[in-house]
Each structure stands twice: as structure tokens, then as C-alpha cells.
């Protein structure tokens, strides 16, 4: 007996923890399952024919496919072709993408055996037992037919009918049957899925310390399950220690609102703080306005780079927040984010959603600026997805929301936001990704920003510049984006081109020791001898590079970089502009050493120090 569980992940670095949980649970209940349940993970970037061939080679006796918004288009093709090459194999689906319009999916794909709905661990285990009995000669369906002749109610108590959480084609009636709803799982009873890390090398590890969400945001499926269930803290600590001992790079908690229970969150954060291994990073999705003083004090003590916090702001329009049932204290949220940011030890990721009710273009612009001024390390400008089963889907017609018919069901326009404006926001989003979220322009952007009424206006103007020059069609390479930004800055801020040149050179060398100099960088050939002499002196005195013991002058020169600047580019934007406008220029150029062995844990910027040449 072989039951194959199939996942199509968005990227190779991702994994599907749901399938690992199904298998681990089945093995914990019955050791035979270890040889019966097999996992097959692929990505949506692979060729469908290659995936199909690999599944065929595995020769399953039954198969179940994990369906999400990001893989549903490809998954429909995959199961259709799989049925053609193995028509005798039962095919089951599961996952959020198929849980809220089950009859329609079964009608559209009548070759499907059925769909698992709700939390699947116990449901899958009982389904596995069902097919195991069939495999050894017991036929539940035949037994059901025999019993029905004597007991009309037998159908509800035998075979698939006896397994809660299923919707399937009934071989007796020929119709669709929905069994009783599966009760919510006690997640403390679920086994740990990462006992063997071999399958997760170079991949993100996902971890679940709670299920459910206490909030009811109208766009989110997590709002359907209001009951929050917490995993026992003794188990959580034991499992966290496993990650810490293995020194995995990152653990991403999938809890929908991790800090909805203060005691639970504090205990986990305190454990992470006290057992930090100096390597592992932990990612949490939180509600910032729920953080209390004790939690903030804990966060302030974390090693830089130990934690990442993702915070869904979504909008700062009070009418929008009220309509989507997201009751956030924006003043507290803003104060909390600024306080965390001031410690410079935690990566903060803030989310916005375009296309929400009551949010027009001007309102979204205000929301964007409000969030931008909180200075997160990353600002994600996302677009509303109208998910099946959500309250937003029920209200879409009232809101005048049109969205794509196929996944990801993304907004096209609303009563408040036109399609043309959505297209413009898409272009602005790309500029934010390339120039802000990349963290590669951290010194030039604050100066350039001062030339516009707001940050949103700057990114909008940059998007227009890209459009006018055809860069959205012929996207410039990563290195050429610096030149594009210089051209843009020179066009909008006349008279300061040399300042922007130096800022861009500074930003470039902060991130990497370039093999070739950018075309807009100054000629350093006249400084060659002085730079060489600096490294010869450093070889014996170690005034600036104490961590390079054992390296000679030539090696240190290759491993680091020295650049000359006329402007004090490391200063705050307002200081720099004030100095520029007063025509301040140093009596001599300042030499800055970039040390790539020591980097900022949050930004990955190289250590810099002014040196004497």
C-alpha cells in the first residue's frame, strides 16, 4: 500500500508543513504508515510533464494533492493529466483552495474521488486505514452495499461515510456526500515534524505553536476559525531547542497572530533570548498594537538579527479598517514600531493592501506615507486577494470589486479604485521592491525623498520615469539600476548630481566589494600609491583591521575596499543637504574603508571607518 501526498510549492526553498504533519501524525498513530505514506514535493516552476512522470514512477495506490492559491492553476492541470495516465488510482484533494466550493470542484472534475476539508491529520489517518483495508481484501463499499439491503442506515456508518471531514462521490447513490464536520485538533497532540532535517537542507523551516486567530478580518480565511489553540509550552521549548542545537538558519512561525496570547508569546520569546545560539533567526507575524511593556522590554534585549517581525497594517484609513473588521489602535501601533525600530536589533516588515473598501488612490497614498515614515526594513505593497470562503468574497458585489477569475483572485478595480489606478500602483510597487525593499539604496533615497512632497510621490515619479524610458519592458540589470536612479535624480534635482554620484557609490560598496567600478564613480588612479601604502602599513600595525590577522597587505586590499568622498555621505539626509546648499566641501577628500567581514546583522551593510591615507 502506498499513499502519495503531493505538494507544489512556490519555490524550492519552501516546504509544505501540512503534508509532513499528515504523515507524522499517521506514523505516530500506526508505525506501518511509515512505509505506506510517501511525500512528493515539487515547485510550480518545474515542467508539468516532469512532475507527472515522477509521480507515475512512484506507482501510488492512492494520491492526495495539497491545494493553495499559488498552485491551484497548475494543480488542476496536474490532477487531470494524472488521472489519464493512472485512471484506476483514487485522487483526493485538500487545502484552503478547495475547502469552500467543494461541490463545484467535484462537478467540474468528476474523476476526483473526493476532497478532505478542515484540519486533516485525523481525517487522513482514517482515510489511509480505509485504503489499507481495501488493499488486504476488505472492501468497505461492497460491505456497505450488502448491509444496506438489510439496514438502510448502513451507508452512514461504513466506509468513507464513517470518516468525518470528507466530501466525495458516493458509489452507491452516484451523488455527492458530505460527512460530518471534523472537530478541531488538539495541536499539542500532534507530533514534531522535523526529527530528520535531511529533507529540509537549504529550505525555510515552518513551525506552528498555535492554530486559529481571534480576529475576524474580512479578507482572511483565518477569521473563519475563531478558536485559538496553543501548543503546550513544554513541547514548544523542546522543539525550539532542537532547531537551536541544529543551528538552522531560520525558523518561520506560521501562527496567524503570534502574540494574541501574551503569556504564550513572552515565554517563547524569553526562551529564544536565553538560548540564542548566535545563528538561528526566528520570524513571527504579530499585531504590534497588542504588545505590552514587558514584551517590548524582551524584544529590546534580542541579539541584532535574532528576530524578524511581520506586522500587517493593511491601511491607516479608519473607515477602511472598520469595514474590514480590523480594529487596530494605529497610534499605539505607530509608537510601538518606532520604539522597536529605534533599538536597531529587529527586522520589521510592514504590510499594506491596496484595493480594500473605502480606500481610494489618495487614501492609499496617505496609508503608504504613514507606514513609510515608520521606516520598516521592508514595506510590502500587496493587492487584495478575494479568497473563497471569506467575508470579502460575500461583499465583493456590494463593494464593486472586480477580481481575476483564476488564482490569485486579485483585485482589478473597486468602487473607489479604478483599474488604471491599480495598474499605476503595480508600477509603484515594483519601484518599492527594487529601490526600498532591496536595502541597496539606503543613503541615496532619504536625500532624493526630500525633493518630493512625500515618499509616495517619489516612487510614483520614479515609476513614471521607468515607464517613459521603457524600463518596465526592458528591465535594467541589478547594477544598472544605480545608473537609472542617478539619471532620475539628476533630472529632478538639478545641481546636485555629484552628490548623488557619491551617495550611490557609497551604497554600492556598502553591500559588496565590486569587481569593476561603476561608470559614474570617480577615477582613483591618482590615489593608487597611497591606498597601497595604507595596506602595507596595516599589515604590521592593524589599526583598522584587527580581525585580519594572518592576511598580508595584498590579501586585505582584495578583501576590503577604500573609496574617496568629497561629501560626508554618511550623514543624515537633512544635514547633508544643508551642507550642500551652503556649498560646504571638505578641504580634502575623506577616505572610507569598507570591511566586508563585519556586516550589520539587519541590513547586511559592511562596516565602514574613515582612514588616513
**How is 126-151 classified by DSSP, letter by letter?**
HHHHHHHHHHTT--HHHHHHHHHHH-
Tell me: pLDDT of 145 over 90: no
- Residue at grid coordinates 512512484: 58
Q: Which 8-state DSSP code applies to residue 228?
A: -
pLDDT band at 151 (very low <50, low <70, confident <90, very high): very low
Sheet holding 250-253, edge to edge: 205-207, 250-253, 281-286, 307-314, 346-354, 378-383
Residues 6+ apart with CB under 8 A from 117: 94, 99, 102, 165, 166, 167, 181, 182
Mean pLDDT of 585-592: 74
Burial of 379 (0-12, 13-18, 19+ CB in 10 A): buried
How far apart CA 446 and CA 430 sit, in angstroms, is: 18
CB 358 within 8 A of CB 319: yes
- In this prediction, residue 149 carries a pLDDT of 47
The x, y and z cell numbers of residue 102, run together, are: 467543494
Confidence of residue 214 (pLDDT cuts 50, 70, 90): confident
| Model confidence pLDDT, tens digit, residues 450-496 | 999 999 999 999 999 999 999 998 888 888 999 999 999 999 999 89
Average pLDDT of the chain to the nearest whole number: 92
User: E strand or H helix at 1, and its extent?
Assistant: none
pLDDT at 282 over 70: yes
Read off the pLDDT band of 585 (50, 70, 90). low
C-alpha–C-alpha distance, residues 23 and 41, integer Å: 13
- Say if residues 108 and 80 touch (Cβ distance below 8 Å): no
How much is the pTM?
0.91
Structure confidence at residue 521 (pLDDT):
94
**Chain center to CA of 595:** 30
| Mean of pLDDT values over 166-193 | 93
Banded model confidence at residue 137, pLDDT cuts 50, 70, 90: low
Q: Which strand (E) or helix (H) includes residue 341?
A: helix 330-343
pLDDT value at residue 478: 86
Distance separating alpha carbons of residues 171 and 491, to the nearest angstrom: 71
Mean pLDDT, rounded, for 133-161: 59
- The residue with greater pLDDT, 212 or 383, is 383
* Strand, helix or coil for residue 275: coil
- So what's the pLDDT on residue 211? 93
Give the Å distances, CA to CA, from 573 to 134, 343, 372, 497: 72, 20, 16, 15
User: Please, which residues have CB within 8 angstroms of residue 547's CB and are 6 or more apart in sequence?
Assistant: 595, 597, 598
From the list 122, 4, 153, the residue with the least C-alpha distance to 66 is 4
The yes-or-no verdict on residue 172 having pLDDT over 80 is: no
pLDDT tens digits, one per residue of 338-393: 999 999 999 999 999 999 999 999 999 999 999 999 999 999 999 999 999 899 99
Stretch 1-8: mean pLDDT: 97
State the pLDDT confidence band at 154, using cuts at 50, 70 and 90.
Answer: very low
Q: What is the mean pLDDT of residues 101-130?
A: 96
Contact assessment for residue 78 and residue 43, using Cβ atoms and an 8 Å cutoff: no
Q: Which residues, 6+ apart, have CB-to-CB distance to 300 below 8 Å?
A: 340, 343, 345
Using CA atoms, how far apart are residues 83 and 315, in angstroms rounded to an integer?
45
Per-residue CA distances from 530 to 534, 536, 554, 613 (Å): 6, 10, 14, 6
Query: Is the distance from CB of 461 to CB of 452 less than 8 angstroms?
Result: yes
| Residue 113 DSSP one-character state | -
- Residues 556 and 545 sit within 8 Å (Cβ to Cβ): yes
Residue 223 has what pLDDT?
A: 57
Model confidence pLDDT, tens digit, residues 287-312: 999 999 999 999 999 999 999 999 99
Mean local confidence (pLDDT), 323-336: 92
Cα(593)–Cα(572) distance, rounded to whole angstroms?
Answer: 19
Residues 50-101: pLDDT tens digits? 999 999 999 999 999 999 999 999 999 999 999 999 999 999 999 999 998 9
Q: Which residue, among 611, 203, 599, has the nearest Cα to 439 in the 3D structure? A: 599
Q: Is the distance from CB of 414 to CB of 400 less than 8 angstroms?
A: yes
CA atoms within 13 A on the CB side of 500: 23
Tens digit of pLDDT for each residue in 63-73?
A: 999 999 999 99
Of the pLDDT bands very low, low, confident and very high (cuts 50, 70, 90), residue 225 is low
Q: Is the pLDDT of residue 193 over 50?
A: yes
Beta bridge partners of 403: 411
Nearest to 190 by CA among 252, 120, 268, 279: 120
Q: Where are the alpha helices (DSSP H) in 67-221?
A: 72-85, 102-108, 121-135, 140-150
Neighbours of 359 (CB within 10 A): 28
Amino acid at each position: 500500500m502506498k499513499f502519495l501526498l503531493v505538494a507544489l510549492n512556490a519555490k524550492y526553498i519552501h516546504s509544505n508543513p501540512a503534508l509532513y504533519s499528515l504523515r507524522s501524525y499517521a506514523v505516530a498513530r500506526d508505525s506501518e504508515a511509515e512505509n505506506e505514506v510517501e511525500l512528493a514535493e515539487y515547485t510550480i516552476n518545474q515542467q508539468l510533464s516532469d512532475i507527472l512522470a515522477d509521480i507515475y514512477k512512484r506507482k501510488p495506490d492512492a494520491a492526495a494533492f495539497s491545494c493553495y492559491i499559488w498552485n491551484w492553476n497548475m494543480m488542476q492541470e496536474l490532477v487531470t493529466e494524472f488521472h489519464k495516465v493512472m485512471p484506476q488510482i483514487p485522487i483526493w484533494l485538500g487545502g484552503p483552495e478547495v475547502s469552500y466550493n467543494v461541490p463545484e470542484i467535484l462537478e467540474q472534475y468528476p474523476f476526483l474521488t473526493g476532497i478532505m476539508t478542515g484540519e486533516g491529520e485525523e481525517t487522513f489517518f482514517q482515510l489511509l486505514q480505509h485504503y489499507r483495508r481495501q488493499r488486504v481484501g476488505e472492501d468497505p463499499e461492497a460491505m456497505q452495499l450488502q448491509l444496506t439491503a438489510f439496514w438502510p442506515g448502513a451507508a452512514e456508518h461504513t466506509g468513507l461515510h464513517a470518516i468525518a471531514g470528507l466530501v466525495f462521490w458516493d458509489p452507491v447513490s452516484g451523488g455527492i456526500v458530505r460527512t460530518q464536520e471534523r472537530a478541531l485538533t488538539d495541536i499539542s497532540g500532534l507530533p514534531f515534524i522535523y526529527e530528520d532535517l535531511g529533507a529540509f537542507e537549504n529550505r525555510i523551516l515552518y513551525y506552528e505553536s498555535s492554530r486559529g486567530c481571534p480576529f475576524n478580518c474580512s479578507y482572511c480565511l483565518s477569521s473563519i476559525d475563531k478558536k485559538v489553540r496553543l501548543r503546550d509550552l513544554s513541547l514548544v521549548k523542546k522543539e525550539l531547542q532542537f532547531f537551536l542545537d541544529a543551528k538552522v538558519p531560520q525558523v518561520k512561525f506560521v501562527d496567524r497572530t503570534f502574540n494574541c496570547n501574551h503569556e504564550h508569546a513572552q515565554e517563547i520569546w524569553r526562551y529564544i533570548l536565553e538560548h540564542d545560539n548566535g545563528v538561528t533567526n526566528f520570524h513571527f507575524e504579530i499585531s504590534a498594537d497588542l504588545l505590552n511593556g514587558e514584551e517590548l522590554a524582551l524584544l529590546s534585549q534580542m541579539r541584532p538579527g535574532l528576530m524578524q517581525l511581520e506586522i500587517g497594517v493593511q491601511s491607516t484609513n479608519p473607515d477602511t479598517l472598520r469595514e474590514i473588521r480590523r480594529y487596530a489602535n494605529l497610534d499605539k501601533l505607530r509608537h510601538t514600531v518606532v520604539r522597536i525600530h529605534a533599538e536597531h536589533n529587529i527586522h520589521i516588515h510592514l504590510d499594506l493592501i491596496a484595493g480594500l473598501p473605502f480606500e481610494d488612490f489618495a487614501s492609499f497614498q496617505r496609508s503608504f506615507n504613514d507606514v513609510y515614515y515608520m521606516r520598516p526594513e521592508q514595506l510590502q505593497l500587496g493587492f487584495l486577494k478575494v479568497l473563497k470562503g471569506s467575508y470579502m468574497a460575500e461583499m465583493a458585489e456590494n463593494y464593486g470589486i472586480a477580481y481575476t477569475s483564476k488564482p490569485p483572485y486579485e483585485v482589478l478595480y473597486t468602487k473607489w479604485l479604478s483599474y488604471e489606478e491599480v495598474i499605476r500602483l503595480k508600477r509603484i510597487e515594483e519601484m518599492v521592491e527594487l529601490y526600498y525593499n532591496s536595502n541597496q539604496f539606503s543613503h541615496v533615497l532619504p536625500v532624493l525623498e526630500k525633493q518630493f512632497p512625500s515618499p509616495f510621490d517619489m516612487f510614483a515619479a520614479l515609476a513614471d520615469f521607468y515607464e517613459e524610458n521603457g524600463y518596465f519592458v526592458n528591465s535594467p540589470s541589478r547594477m544598472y539600476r544605480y545608473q537609472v536612479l542617478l539619471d532620475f535624480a539628476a533630472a529632478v534635482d538639478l545641481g546636485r548630481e555629484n552628490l548623488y554620484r557619491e551617495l550611490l557609490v557609497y551604497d554600492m560598496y556598502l553591500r559588496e566589494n565590486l569587481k569593476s567600478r561603476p561608470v559614474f564613480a570617480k577615477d582613483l588612479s591618482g590615489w593608487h600609491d597611497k591606498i597601497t601604502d595604507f595596506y602595507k602599513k596595516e599589515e604590521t600595525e592593524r589599526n583598522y583591521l584587527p580581525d585580519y590577522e594572518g592576511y598580508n597587505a595584498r590579501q586585505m586590499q582584495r578583501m576590503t575596499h577604500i573609496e574617496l568622498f568629497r561629501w560626508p555621505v554618511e550623514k543624515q539626509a537633512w544635514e547633508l543637504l544643508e551642507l550642500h546648499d551652503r556649498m560646504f566641501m571638505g578641504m580634502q577628500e575623506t577616505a572610507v574603508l569598507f570591511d566586508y567581514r563585519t556586516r550589520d546583522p539587519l541590513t547586511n551593510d559592511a562596516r565602514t571607518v574613515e582612514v588616513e591615507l
